[in-house]
């Protein structure tokens, strides 16, 4: 899977290994279990697990579970499934930041004993106000100079649940005038009387992200702690904790640009809103950019991994064109999805020179270039369905499909001519009467050219299918940039159009999640939920036309 996309972290690690500066690498993927993973997380997964694979190192899965109010076991399970589905395996057991709560608490006490942390009684609003701004230094809290003994006692009481939420916090004593606001006495512990999915009711205080992450990395022996650019400003704090605590190892934080995709939300919080508001059919709705949504839509793990390789890893923020993702999945399915015929907008054709009850069956390759794929049996009968868009009563000049008095080839079968158009009283077309030229099976007709080829399905033997046509969920290029109240105003009203189609009989037993190219139409995947209930429901993964400009 090599592309020429830049990956500065891979290059850096290769340099470290070649120069003997590093002999093994340990990375980690650290999701918070507060939602399902999305395509941006896929980039991080491919990077962290991919580096470990490439350099013979290890990659841990560690749930960053410091905010019990927003976290759930169901998210933990879904995240594990998604990583496995993408084709990665974490090293050793699943880890949790909460595994380290005892150690983190001991280290918090250590900082207090060293005079490097204190208990603050300011309210959250006051703390924000005292912290200052980019242009204005912060002011010290009136509680900043409590004695170490008093702080130790108060911290213990916080831990024992003697105070209400918001009444007190533990802060590092660093520098209220620092140019980096993250160093202006950051919060280490907050009071939360919440039950935790891993630790139950044991804790009444929970460590902050900043106090947890680097130390967890150190405990696990992570060598390269890779995160997105928003954390660049936190790196001095990450390093401050490692410098001021007796940690067993010295991890390094490296930042890269997060993935932003146009027409796509990559914020768990906003995706959760779509789910909670019932705008989509759950986290794995095929329109969702979640890994499980992409799976249900018909994307393959290989295509997602390829896409993550193509976009590269840099420190330059940008907006990736979703056409590139479509390109990745399309080229995978082009090579690997068997072909089938399915009519989405059925128009009846009666072949007047075929007898009732007559049936002939063609053996058709499953894929034009893949002899390993089983042949399909495609029956032709007197009555067929074609797509209504393949017929025009008064066609323009370059219309090479069916029209009154004109000929077209039925894919894999004969050339037919439209002899008569039958209509309802209201003028709607009811059916076409056509006749076969029996001298055209597998050969060109005599003395004339027939340019058009259309797909079709036997009316007697075809199977009804529900087909869900998906499009982008948003009409604006950067829905993430919209304010919270506004982004829902930019939903695409046509992001899901459901039609009843007729498919060739070989699709009758399509297994959940099997993928096909419906010839001349697009790529489709049997819905993993609906088809389990015995319905034939196909989700459109992507159309046939490649819009990605290289």
User: Which of the following is catalytic: 268, 305, 409, 540?
Assistant: 268
Burial call 318-349: b when 16+ CB within 10 Å, e when fewer: eebbbebbbbbbbebbeeebbbbbbbbebbbb
Residue 29 C-beta: closest distance to ligand ATP, Å: 6
Q: Is 32 annotated as a binding residue?
A: yes
User: Which of the following is catalytic: 139, 157, 258, 520?
Assistant: 258
Residue pair 146/172 in contact (Cβ under 8 Å)? The answer is: no
268 binds ligand ATP (CB under 6 A): yes
DSSP-derived letter for residue 91 is: S
Q: Is 258 annotated as a binding residue?
A: yes
- Helix (H) or strand (E) holding 276, with range, is helix 268-276
SS3 breakdown of the chain: % helix, strand, coil, rounded to 5? Answer: 30, 25, 45
Stretch that binds ligand ATP, among 264-272, 347-355, 397-405, 450-458 (CB under 6 A): 264-272
Q: Is 370 exposed, middle or buried (0-12, 13-18, 19+ CB in 10 A)?
A: middle
How many residues bind ligand ATP (CB under 6 A)? The answer is: 16
Residues 6+ apart with CB under 8 A from 263: 322, 472, 473, 474, 475, 476, 477, 479
Residue pair 364/375 in contact (Cβ under 8 Å)? The answer is: yes
Q: Is 396 annotated as a binding residue?
A: no
How far apart are the C-alpha atoms of 528 and 531, rounded to whole Å? 6
Stretch that binds ligand ATP, among 104-112, 263-271, 348-356, 379-387 (CB under 6 A): 263-271
Applying CB under 6 A, among 148, 262, 267, 336 the residue interacting with ligand ATP is: 267
Applying CB under 6 A, among 216, 253, 266, 458 the residue interacting with ligand ATP is: 266
Stretch that binds ligand ATP, among 28-36, 316-324, 466-474, 495-503 (CB under 6 A): 28-36
Q: Is 300 annotated as a binding residue?
A: no
Residue 84 C-beta: closest distance to ligand ATP, Å: 17
Residue 254 C-beta: closest distance to ligand ATP, Å: 11
Residue 228 C-beta: closest distance to ligand ATP, Å: 4
Q: How many helices (H) and strands (E) does the chain have?
A: 13, 25
Name the residue nearer to ligand ATP (CB basis): 313 or 415.
313
CA pseudo-torsion sign 453, 498, 541, 545? positive
Applying CB under 6 A, among 7, 26, 41, 329 the residue interacting with ligand ATP is: 41
Q: Is 235 annotated as a binding residue?
A: no
40 binds ligand ATP (CB under 6 A): yes
Name the residue nearer to ligand ATP (CB basis): 67 or 331.
67
CA 10 to chain centre: 23
Name the residue nearer to ligand ATP (CB basis): 31 or 207.
31
Structure token digits, residue 194: 């919440």
Structure token digits, residue 10: 């891979």
Helices within 178-234 (DSSP H only):
209-220
Name the residue nearer to ligand ATP (CB basis): 44 or 435.
44
Applying CB under 6 A, among 25, 31, 151, 409 the residue interacting with ligand ATP is: 31
Name the residue nearer to ligand ATP (CB basis): 450 or 478.
478
Q: Is 33 annotated as a binding residue?
A: yes
Q: Is 53 annotated as a binding residue?
A: no
Is beta strand 359-364 parallel, antiparallel or unpaired with respect to 463-470?
Answer: unpaired
Residue pair 118/170 in contact (Cβ under 8 Å)? The answer is: yes
User: Which of the following is catalytic: 32, 150, 431, 466?
Assistant: 32
Per-residue binder mask for ligand ATP (CB under 6 A), 46-85, x = binder: ------------------x---------------------
- Is 258 a residue of the active site? yes
Q: Which of 391, 383, 460 has its CA nearest to residue 421?
A: 391
How far apart are the C-alpha atoms of 327 and 325, rounded to whole Å? 5
3-class secondary-structure state, position 393: coil
Applying CB under 6 A, among 178, 180, 228, 336 the residue interacting with ligand ATP is: 228
Stretch that binds ligand ATP, among 92-100, 235-243, 265-273, 363-371 (CB under 6 A): 265-273
- Is 167 a residue of the active site? no
- Is 268 a residue of the active site? yes
Structure token digits, residue 99: 């595994």
**Cross-strand bridge partners of residue 162:** none
44 binds ligand ATP (CB under 6 A): yes
Helices within 312-360 (DSSP H only):
322-336
- Provide the annotated binding site for L-glutamine: 64, 209
- Contacts with ligand ATP by CB under 6 A lie at 30-32, 40-41, 43-44, 64, 227-228, 258-259, 266-269
Report the binding-site residues.
32-34, 64, 209, 228, 258-259
Residues with catalytic function: 32, 258, 268
Instruction: Give binding residues for ATP as ranges.
Output: 32-34, 228, 258-259
């Amino acid at each position: 899977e090599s592309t020429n996309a830049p990956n500065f972290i891979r290059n850096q690690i290769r340099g470290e290994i070649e120069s003997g500066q590093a002999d093994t690498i340990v990375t980690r993927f650290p999701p918070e279990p507060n939602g399902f993973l999305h395509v941006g997380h896929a980039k991080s997964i491919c990077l962290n697990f991919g580096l470990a694979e490439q350099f013979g190192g290890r990659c841990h899965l560690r749930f960053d579970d410091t905010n019990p109010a927003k976290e759930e076991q169901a998210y933990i399970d879904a995240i594990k499934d998604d990583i496995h589905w993408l084709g990665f395996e974490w090293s050793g057991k699943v880890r949790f930041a909460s595994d380290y709560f005892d150690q983190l608490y001991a280290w918090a006490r250590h900082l207090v004993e060293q005079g490097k942390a204190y208990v603050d009684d300011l309210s959250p609003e006051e703390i924000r106000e005292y912290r200052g701004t980019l242009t204005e230094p912060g002011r010290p809290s009136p509680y900043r100079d409590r004695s170490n003994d008093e702080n130790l006692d108060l911290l213990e009481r916080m831990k024992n649940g003697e105070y209400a939420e918001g009444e007190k916090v533990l802060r590092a004593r660093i520098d209220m005038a620092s140019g980096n606001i993250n160093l202006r006495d950051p919060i280490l512990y907050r009071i939360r009387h919440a039950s935790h999915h891993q630790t139950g009711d044991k804790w009444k205080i929970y460590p902050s992200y900043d106090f947890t992450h680097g130390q967890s990395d150190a405990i696990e022996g992570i060598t390269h702690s890779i995160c997105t650019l928003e954390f660049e400003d936190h790196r001095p704090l990450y390093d401050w904790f490692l410098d001021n605590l007796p940690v067993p190892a010295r991890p390094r934080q490296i930042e890269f640009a997060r993935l932003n995709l146009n027409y796509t939300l990559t914020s768990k919080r906003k995706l959760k809103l779509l789910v909670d508001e019932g705008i989509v059919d759950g986290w794995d709705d095929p329109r969702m950019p979640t890994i499980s949504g992409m799976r249900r839509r018909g994307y393959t793990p290989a295509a997602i991994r390829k896409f993550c390789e193509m976009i590269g890893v840099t420190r330059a923020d940008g907006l990736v064109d979703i056409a590139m993702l479509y390109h990745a999945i399309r080229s995978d399915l082009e090579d690997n999805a068997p072909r089938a015929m399915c009519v989405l907008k059925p128009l009846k054709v009666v072949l007047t020179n075929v007898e009732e009850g007559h049936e002939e069956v063609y053996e058709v390759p499953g894929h034009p270039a893949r002899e390993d794929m089983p042949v399909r049996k495609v029956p032709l009968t007197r009555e067929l369905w074609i797509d209504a868009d393949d017929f025009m009563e008064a066609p323009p000049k370059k219309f090479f499909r069916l029209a009154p008095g004109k000929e077209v080839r039925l894919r894999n079968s004969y050339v037919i001519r439209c002899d008569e158009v039958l209509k309802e009283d209201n003028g709607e077309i009811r059916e076409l009467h056509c006749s076969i030229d029996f001298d055209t099976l597998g050969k060109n007709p005599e003395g004339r050219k027939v340019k058009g080829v259309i797909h079709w399905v036997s009316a007697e033997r075809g199977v009804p299918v529900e087909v869900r046509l998906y499009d982008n969920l948003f009409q604006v290029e950067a829905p993430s940039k919209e304010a919270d109240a506004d982004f829902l105003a930019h939903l695409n009203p046509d992001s899901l159009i459901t039609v009843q189609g007729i498919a060739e009989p070989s699709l009758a037993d399509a297994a959940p999640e099997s993928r096909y190219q419906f010839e001349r139409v697009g790529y489709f995947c049997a819905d993993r939920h609906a088809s389990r209930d015995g319905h034939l429901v196909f989700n459109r993964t992507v159309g046939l036309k490649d819009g990605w400009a290289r």
